[in-house]
Amino acid sequence: MGGTRAVGLLALGSFAMGTDAYAMAGLLPDMGADLDVSVSLAGQSVTAFTLCYALAAPLLSAVLARRGTRALLVTALVVFVLANTGTALASSYAALLGTRALAGAGAGLFTPAAATAAVALVPPERRGRALGLVLGGMSAGTVLGVPLGLLVADAAGWRAALWLISALGLVALLGVATALPPVRGAAAPSLRARIGALARPRVAVVVAVTFTQTVASLGLYTYLEPVLRRVADVGSAVPYLWVWGIGGVCGSLLAGTLVDRTGRPARLAVALLGVLGGALALLPWTGAVPGLVLLPLLVWGAVGWAFVVPQQHRLLAQDGGAAAVGLNSSATYLGGAVGSALGGLVLAHGLDAGRLPLLAAAVALAGVLFHLTVARRVARRDARTTDHAPGTGPHVPDNAPGDGAADATAAESPERNAS
């Protein structure tokens, strides 16, 4: 099987993951009513998923690293299917939390391995588009899978939506198990390699900015339905989820092309984060005009998903890129866990749901500020270290323009030549 078709299989798995991760936001009211808990408490099932993704998945990946990438992907999909089947059968709140945590572990095993494998399966000049396709599969899950799941839930209950997600995972499992070619040079990194990657300032800065972005974006998305009811008095969130997801697919695919063409992923990432903050800040003010709320939702979905592509690309351009990608994926879902937990907490304490977007916007803009200060300092320090080493290029002055931790050095920076 050719590299492009193989990447398509990985995108299919990502589609199932995206449907599972984001359909839950629309199912919270029905789940809460069925299990006799509040919406904010039901929202902690999303926290269980994302927290287990972030914390447990790296440990499991390190343990299973010697089995090879394809075996790791198959194992992840098996866990994912079984966990969603368990959620569909859950009869208590405790069972719901346990199965969502297990599903998060399966997704956490799959996503970074799929991203690394996609890069290994295509030529270097196409890896930005390969990453965009895999991540676009996840955002496509929000465009097609999430609304479909909500329609199924409206017709047959929230448990039927989980059976649908289990079926999607099973199709992906069969495809990866039977048709994915051997992946060379993409084995899961060890736990020591992951920790060592985080100790490098450039990696730590990228991962920290990713965490900030997902606290804002994924944390707010968990409570999108109550936010829309308060801001725009909507009856059903399904059309709005479609718009958010369509933006996500477009953003993922276009970001990969932009990275390949410009070779400036750090500058692209910080620009996207700034636009995200602006879109979230505008969301509460658009409800007074019918239909206007769709515009910030579209932009939010597009830049939120597009942001992941240059971040992953920056990390893969460095030594030990596979370990760094795993850390970035963990930061993504750890940010989602923290964001959903904080959102549930403030709602439980009486905050108006219409104000959640403003808090999320503040977090996103704080990420921009962090990137423009700390990241540039790291880049300039690395530039000075390189300039003082034997055989390096000309000195870059301290006031030289820079656009990020992995994109501000001279031509010797691997990221500038990555694509």
Summarize the confidence of residues 35-47 as an average pLDDT. 83
Q: Provide the pLDDT for residue 68.
A: 75
Q: Rounded CA gap, 12 and 24, in Å? A: 19
Q: Rounded CA gap, 393 and 396, in Å? A: 9
- pTM comes to 0.68
Per-residue pLDDT band at 190 (split at 50, 70, 90): low
Chain CA centroid to CA 293, Å: 23
Residue 418 confidence (pLDDT) above 50: no
Per-residue pLDDT band at 406 (split at 50, 70, 90): very low
Tokens of 405: 């931790």
Q: Rounded CA gap, 393 and 324, in Å? A: 27
CATH homologous superfamily of 3-417: MFS general substrate transporter like domains (1.20.1250.20)
Average pLDDT over the chain, rounded to whole? 78
Residue 278: name the closest of 302, 258, 259 by CA.
Answer: 302
Q: Provide the pLDDT for residue 330.
A: 76
Summarize the confidence of residues 96-106 as an average pLDDT. 92
Greater pLDDT, 348 or 236 = 348
Q: Provide the pLDDT for residue 403.
A: 40
Summarize the confidence of residues 311-321 as an average pLDDT. 71
Q: Rounded CA gap, 74 and 180, in Å? A: 10
- Amino acid in position 196: G
Q: Provide the pLDDT for residue 93.
A: 92
2 CB neighbour count, 10 Å cutoff: 10
- Amino acid in position 364: A
Tokens of 168: 């999607």
Q: Rounded CA gap, 362 and 367, in Å? A: 9
Q: Provide the pLDDT for residue 193.
A: 66
Q: Provide the pLDDT for residue 187.
A: 53
Residue 88 confidence (pLDDT) above 90: yes
Residue 13: name the closest of 128, 132, 174 by CA.
Answer: 174
Per-residue pLDDT band at 298 (split at 50, 70, 90): very high
Q: Point out the least confidently predicted range of 5-14, 66-75, 187-196, 350-359.
A: 187-196
b/e map 121-159, b = 16+ CB within 10 Å: bbeeebbbbbbbbbbbbbbbbbbbbbbbbbebbeeebbb
